[in-house]
Structure 1
Amino acid sequence: MGQIKRVLSFSKRMMRCLGKEGWHVFCYKLNHRLHKKNEYDMWMLQNEQQYKEPEQELEYKPLISVVVPVYNVEPQMLTACIQSVQNQTYDNWELCLVDDCSTDARVRETLRQFEGVERIKIKYRSENGHISRTTNDGIAMAEGEFVALLDCDDLYAENALYEIAKKLNEDHTLDFIYSDEDKLSEDGTKRRNPFFKPDWSPDTFMSLMYTCHLAVYRKSLLDEMGGLRVGLEGSQDYDLVLRVMEKTNRIGHVPKILYHWREREESTANDISAKPYIIETTKKAKLEALERRGVKGHLEYIKDIVMFRVVYEVVGNPRVSIIIPSKDNYDILKQCLTSIRKETKYQNYEIIVVDNGSAEETHAKYTQMCKELECKYHYAPMEFNFSKMCNIGAHLADGQFLLFLNDDIRVEGAEWLERMLGHAQQPHTGAVGCKLIYPNTNLIQHVGVVSFMVGPGHAFQRINDDLNCYWGRNKLEYNYSAVTGACLMIDRNKYDQVGGFSEQLPVAYNDIDLCFNLVEAGYYNVVRTDVRLYHYESVSRGYDAVSPEKAARQQREMKKLYDRHPEFKGYDPCYNPNLIGNSDNFSLRLLKVKEIETPEETQQVLVEKGSLQYKVEEFTDEAVVKISGWALNRKTLRAGTLNIVLTGQDKQQYIVKSERLYRPDVRDAFGKRRLAFAGFEAAFIKQNLPKQHYEVSLVLDGDARMVGSIVVA
């Protein structure tokens, strides 16, 4: 029945796509859906060789004890599991196998084959004690400085323990390390469904057990905590990490697939409903964590994804100052203010409208409206500077918490303010954002910001909120490096600590800068996806893609942003380097490498005709050169086939054909359906060119622009 519902839902979405976006987009999305299952195979071919780079001699080589609780597992699966440890490229390990009094005689027969084998210890329990007691027996046997956990039917990648040791060489103080993982078919022949995880993200972890496998712990910490708790079977590892995070923040992440989780019919790797009791033990682990920490909160069950959301309850009655910058936008501002007054259940708040110079008539209307709706109104004509307007509002505010809100937001839901406030009260929290939806749709405008290789971008923008976006990122509370200033709440003390909004960034990226400052100060920014507001984006601001002047200003401010925060350029701790670096849909980083073509005759001199409008968003000059962005003919407003032309010092030219990419943002910015594929991407192997210096140009409809250069040495 569930399969039929999914098929019907998919069919409805595709038919809506056909009606709204046309035949070409329909075919593109259908083709993408049909071939998506093969993407991971392509990723493995492209990445896993460089993934398993030649191993370097490590200065620090701690003994790692691999603990495997064993119970009624198929002999070939158990043998494969043990051999995956024996085949490790890292040599300072021991294997502690504990049989939990299996009733299947084949288990003991299999284990006996490994009795007396060097570095392998085996214990046979005399009674069944379930997984927590059995794992604790293995931990007690362990002599290593670190303990790595492994299920008896799963596999380690051959470089798993080396990568853990390598991470420890980078930082000897780490107490807990986890890796990325994928799923393994029951027969062990097929890998699928990779989970590329963020670096340590405490709010993400309170939403779901994302660290999972591979998990490696400092043994002294496990001994101090008494190992796994009995009574939490099914969620024993989740409970363990919940307790670990209360003892240490020395947590590391290896962004590589080091663990293959076997999908047996009765395994939660295949479906959590295979073990319904896990739902209850997960609930218990979360509630007890809140109680241990003295945190006031409750859980909400999200049936569709079988997860529990943590809702932090407001402590006391702190005042919230809602600060709204606005100018000459009366109808939109009125909608915003009236929705706040109508919807908001939490009452201890004030509204401050900061106007940087509305026309006289609008100024008068703002004055009257703010009087009627009991808002503070600050009027001071000046050049637009969003940061300065926010800082002025903060200076006028009486609240212990500040909520910066765009005037084109319409509030919905009685508890929106208190849910954000409860989370903002947590000591570890930096900025709290929410989920923003485009009006009259169910399409996501904002559910967090990622620092992509091409710059900051909104996650899952223009994706239907009914979908489950990459492990529930639009359904659960996740940490992000940044949230949008369109709706951002922060503790006043933390705002002051990081210096508020930078007035050196007057238009773009000021909110990202604030959030990066918070991360650098040790806080975690988070999106409350249960707060769902409507954002009338582009009503008060146009698309930057339309205007070359706006695009140039955006690039200048982006440079300022990364000059201030160089560690975030091309890196985001809440993302993963194995995911695509210039897109919002968290797809795998795949390169479609093109052949370099040599024309029969040397091409004519490239000419600028003034019809090409473009933006290069990524230009990676490495072994594989990658260039991507968008381009169109500004005179015909069409996106034709764009070529990359490489002109050598010897005047010989080479051509690389680009791949056309779906860019709904460019289409919407120009209001032309035919620009849906104005995006482009070209990738080629640099060493296939003769050694010399090359100028790199974009050519569309005979119009050329030089965009950079490369050197083949």
Structure 2
Amino acid sequence: MTTASTRDAAGAPLVSFLAIRPDAGRVGDLLASLDGQSAWQLVVVAPSEALSAHPRVVRAEASATATDAEAIDAGVARATGRFVSVLPDAGVPSADALQTIADWLPLAPDAAVVYTDESAVRADGGIDVVLKQGPAPERLRCQFYYGDLLLFRRDVLADLGGVAHDAAGVELYDLSLRAVQRAAVTLHIPRVLFEAPAVRSIGAFAEDRLDTVRTVLERHLLATGGGTVRSVSADGVHVTVRPVHGEPLVSIVIPTQARFSAPLHAGGAPHSYLLHALRGLVEKTSYRNIEVVLVVDTDPDDAVIAEARSLLGERLVVVDFDLPFNFAAKANRGVLNAVGDYILMLNDDVEVITPDWIESLLALAQLPGAGMAGCMLYYEDDTIQHGGHHYWMGSPTHIGLQVPRGSAGPQHAFEVEREVGGVTAACSLFPRAVYLEVGGMTTLLPGAFNDVDFCLKVAEHGYQAYWTPHAELYHFESKTRDARVRAYELETLGRRWRHRLHQPQYWPFPE
């Protein structure tokens, strides 16, 4: 291999690692981790005393007063690799990093950005493995979750204009966001290829860099459809929200029996979960341009329907359903009787927590290519019921199931808006046109997994599902229906979607 080539003799892409102002010890640690691997170059931006005589080490000149951006520019100018990676001040690539990267790149031959999983040493000496979500541009505006081993293709880096000189300390985050703006192909390699010496919050920034983080995020939102930076945080979790465009009619479709159930407490009056949900809609919800479509069995309690009319007036549409129980069929009938451009599918056993929950969902459902948006649902004991769908080893589940409310989740995932494989029909908002395009919900699954099947159809048609922590509701799950999962339903789902029920195991799977 020669440093003038972008590949080694075996054809593996050359990676130029940049070390900015390392001391001799840091250079030694990096060489110890890289020696024995092929297709690498170490570009050291440092005084000559930090240099090693190693044939793969190249020195780049930068003045003592040079900014980090100027130092990175100097290093990139000396780099000859196909990919460039600016290394952090601590931690090293794993012993199999470069071979693994070479093995995975054929899966995305046009990849311009590459990131990997990593590990970190805990204070007790144990090892934490940090698994990452796959490419997720909306999550990236909330968190720089790519981590420490981050590669940029050198020609794309040049096309982007290099690192920004007005993003001190935030250069790589800014560069990653600009790559997203250019729709650069991003590859996540779900293998632990970087070893950090200590656990830290992923994407964390020093307090004195937060104003720059805000500036970078505001610039990114402006370039990608708008939005607001509500807050930035040193732990790497930034509250950024997309805007709602206009005030479209949202049709809230609620399949329901519309009956009273037993009193919640001994000696109490009969209770209606539906009316409890509707009161929350009326009293707590800030979005006003709604209609409510109740899809009702033929024998409802008249008093429930009467109070629903009193609560909603002309905004209420009641649709009769005179067939045997089939949630999917009821949902389809409700959508066909709705007139809003957006449908909010809602169970009748929920309670609104956040007043702007519809705005939070609608902002995501209006994104280009969006298929649906879902929310944070809690059980009545304040544990999480739903933080999005996860499909793994042929079986669907809810992300965050029974985790205590307020938990940050893996890599703060319960605190950031993000892409997901799907969301529950207990509360999901989507363009009506998408629902009709994919054929609605399949009636082959009358009770369970009809929403999973719907989500997978939406994904198969090329649409993206999103989840937000800013829309929160309680879900008194299965209070008004039979919650049993029948074997044929899981078998039916598997026959239809086995090829999509094997996502990477980023999410801890419930035991």
TM-score if structure 1 supplies the norm length?
Answer: 0.65
What is the aligned partner in structure 1 of residue 15 from structure 2? 65
Q: Which amino acid aligns with 1:358?
A: D
What is the aligned partner in structure 2 of residue 232 from structure 1? 167
What is the aligned partner in structure 1 of residue 91 from structure 2? 154
TM-score if structure 2 supplies the norm length?
Answer: 0.89
Pairing partner for 1:407 from 341, 348, 368: 348
Residues 523 and 149 of structure 1: is their aligned pair in 2 closer, same or farther, counting only changes over 3 Å? Answer: farther
Does the alignment pair 1:209 with 2:147?
Answer: no
User: Partners of 1:261 and 1:513 in 2: how far apart?
Assistant: 40
Instruction: Note the C-alpha offset of 1:179.
Output: 0.5
Q: What does residue range 223-262 of structure 1 map to in structure 2 within 5 Å?
A: 223-262=158-197
CA contact (8 A) 2:328 2:443 kept: yes
Instruction: Note the C-alpha offset of 1:149.
Output: 3.0
Give the SS at the match of 1:389. Answer: helix
Q: Which amino acid aligns with 2:278?
A: L
User: Partners of 2:457 and 2:211 in 1: how far apart?
Assistant: 39
CA contact (8 A) 1:155 1:261 kept: yes
User: Partners of 2:233 and 2:277 in 1: how far apart?
Assistant: 32
Pairing partner for 1:181 from 106, 110, 118: 118
Does the alignment pair 1:369 with 2:304?
Answer: no
Q: Which amino acid aligns with 1:325?
A: P
Question: More deviation in 137-146 or 508-517?
Answer: 137-146
What is the aligned partner in structure 2 of residue 324 from structure 1? 254
What is the aligned partner in structure 1 of residue 265 from structure 2? none
> Higher RCO, 1 or 2 (CA under 8 Å, sep at least 6)?
2
User: Partners of 2:425 and 2:202 in 1: how far apart?
Assistant: 39
Residues 177 and 306 of structure 1: is their aligned pair in 2 closer, same or farther, counting only changes over 3 Å? Answer: closer
Residues 497 and 234 of structure 1: is their aligned pair in 2 closer, same or farther, counting only changes over 3 Å? Answer: farther
Residues 285 and 193 of structure 1: is their aligned pair in 2 closer, same or farther, counting only changes over 3 Å? Answer: farther
Q: What does residue range 138-149 of structure 1 map to in structure 2 within 5 Å?
A: 138-149=75-86
Give the SS at the match of 1:572. Answer: coil
Q: Which amino acid aligns with 2:503?
A: D
Give the SS at the match of 1:178. Answer: strand
RMSD: 2.5
Q: What does residue range 501-540 of structure 1 map to in structure 2 within 5 Å?
A: 501-540=441-480
Does the alignment pair 1:382 with 2:320?
Answer: no
CA contact (8 A) 1:179 1:257 kept: yes
* TM superposition outliers: structure 1 runs of 4+ over 6 Å: 268-271
**For structure 1, which runs of at least 5 residues remain unmatched after alignment?**
1-57, 100-106, 545-550, 584-713
User: Partners of 1:288 and 1:75 in 2: how far apart?
Assistant: 38
Give the SS at the match of 1:528. Answer: strand
1:92-140 alpha-carbon deviations (Å, 9 max, x no partner)? 23222222xxxxxxx63231x33xx323211131243232221222222
Residues 157 and 564 of structure 1: is their aligned pair in 2 closer, same or farther, counting only changes over 3 Å? Answer: same
Q: What does residue range 429-468 of structure 1 map to in structure 2 within 5 Å?
A: 429-439=370-380, 441-453=381-393, 455-468=395-408
Instruction: Note the C-alpha offset of 1:328.
Output: 4.2
What is the aligned partner in structure 2 of residue 46 from structure 1? none
1:322-363 alpha-carbon deviations (Å, 9 max, x no partner)? 00000143411111111101111111111100013335xx1x
CA contact (8 A) 1:313 1:422 kept: yes
What is the aligned partner in structure 1 of residue 495 from structure 2? 563
User: Partners of 1:78 and 1:411 in 2: how far apart?
Assistant: 55
User: Partners of 2:155 and 2:68 in 1: how far apart?
Assistant: 20
Pairing partner for 1:97 from 18, 30, 44: 44
**Which structure has the larger Rg?**
1
CA contact (8 A) 1:399 1:492 kept: yes
Number of residue-to-residue matches in the alignment: 490
Residues 399 and 269 of structure 1: is their aligned pair in 2 closer, same or farther, counting only changes over 3 Å? Answer: closer
Does the alignment pair 1:282 with 2:222?
Answer: no
Q: What does residue range 585-624 of structure 1 map to in structure 2 within 5 Å?
A: none
Q: What is the percent sequence identity of the aligned residues? A: 25
User: Partners of 2:457 and 2:490 in 1: how far apart?
Assistant: 15
User: Partners of 1:512 and 1:538 in 2: how far apart?
Assistant: 17
1:603-638 alpha-carbon deviations (Å, 9 max, x no partner)? xxxxxxxxxxxxxxxxxxxxxxxxxxxxxxxxxxxx
Give the SS at the match of 1:129. Answer: coil
1:629-667 alpha-carbon deviations (Å, 9 max, x no partner)? xxxxxxxxxxxxxxxxxxxxxxxxxxxxxxxxxxxxxxx
User: Partners of 2:377 and 2:251 in 1: how far apart?
Assistant: 20
CA contact (8 A) 2:321 2:330 kept: no
